[in-house]
Structure 1
């Protein structure tokens, strides 16, 4: 396939630490380009962890260089992001900008005007939304768990827990319990009792 002179082809290569992996990616891309009569105009190579931000991974630089009708080639989808959501968002953004995206290992060729590409992108979007929902759910569960644990943090009153329960059962007020156990602040003791649900009592 002959390349439109007005368009350019960029290849993005990223490896976490092993420089040899970038070399291997470049070989794969060269082989693919040769077999499909394509010529890569520029390689953007980076050896960096996927945990780094998009600027450090040169993704921002990549998106700025791509124009409508340009082509982006990568060896696999995981090179483009650090999560499904990030990859999906980037792919959708580029396709909406009329950038063609070729993913060699997954045998994907995203072209906005191609029906199969539209179907795949739609599925990717759903997967992205699903992952966002999972992240939101996990965050809420983690916060709830943290909050629950927070109410049961160790307290200075724990050593006298049994004595406190016994005195409450006998009808002794929280203020008197604090005095008997030599606690200066009966309000803190009352908070402890309520959080531990030791007894339903009032100051």
Structure 2
């Protein structure tokens, strides 16, 4: 019986000790939250709003972001003169810690081009950040998050391939028209004069190069042409 009352009394003391210390522990946890922005794995949810040329107000976006439960808010006003790089959004992302979530009402708020969106998605993935877009019901915190990142990575690769292909097609067309491809093409009359200066007047390659504004290598190229090649070029 004595043992029972001793254990009971001891447990009661422990319980009262815990109650007395509870405010202290809560205060310490609150201070930790203020300093680190998280308690027990809790991460920040940051809302980002941006107006467009057709929607000059961000108030509706901010209301939706607040309803979602964002802890912090950033908003920007559309400017016709702004550059393609969204430095303000990049600064927001730079302040975020791994595990934090960026929330927007629509994906197009994140950039004006597909390239901007894919670049930002890649940045979020590298920094272990999450993305939520309310309109598209995208939430990378769930099991489908990796699927979204993989999809955007594939889209970025496709975008780069299309840009490269369009560039090559444009260069090809320009070359056929004689617009690009190094220095402008030299007409046969100029080539003839270059050859005459070298073979008949014994001028130096450097002099000929400066006189006609062509490189030394180009001068050598036309000077070293065989008679057959030269005749073919003139025809």
TM range (shorter): 0.5 to 0.7
Q: State whether residues 46 and 70 of structure 2, in contact with CA within 8 Å, keep that contact through their aligned partners in structure 1.
A: no
1:118 maps to: 146
Structure 1: gaps spanning 5 or more residues: 152-156, 158-173, 176-187, 189-198
1:14-54 Cα offsets, whole Å, 9 max, x none, are 22345633223223323x41xxxx24322232323575322
Structure 2: gaps spanning 5 or more residues: 1-36, 181-186, 194-211, 213-230
Give the Å deviation of 1:106.
Answer: 0.6
The equivalent position to 1:41 in structure 2, one of 72, 76, 79, is: 72
- Given the superposition, is the C-alpha separation of residues 118 and 62 from structure 1 closer, same or farther in structure 2, using an over 3 Å criterion? same
Q: State whether residues 51 and 77 of structure 2, in contact with CA within 8 Å, keep that contact through their aligned partners in structure 1.
A: yes
Please tell me whether residue 53 in structure 1 is matched to residue 81 in structure 2.
no
1:88-146 Cα offsets, whole Å, 9 max, x none, are 221132133222211011100012xx431111211121111001100111111112222
Q: TM-score, normalised by structure 1?
A: 0.62
Q: State whether residues 76 and 104 of structure 1, in contact with CA within 8 Å, keep that contact through their aligned partners in structure 2.
A: yes
1:25 maps to: 61
Give 1:1-203 correspondences, 5 Å limit: 4-5=38-39, 7-17=43-53, 20-30=56-66, 32-33=67-68, 38-49=69-80, 51-55=83-87, 58-111=88-141, 114-148=142-176, 149-150=178-179, 200-202=232-234
- Which is greater in Rg? 2
> For residues 76 and 48 of structure 1, what CA distance do their matches in structure 2 show?
19
Q: How many pairs are equivalent?
A: 162
> For residues 234 and 158 of structure 2, what CA distance do their matches in structure 1 show?
48
Q: TM-score, normalised by structure 2?
A: 0.54
Stretches (4+) displaced over 6 A: none
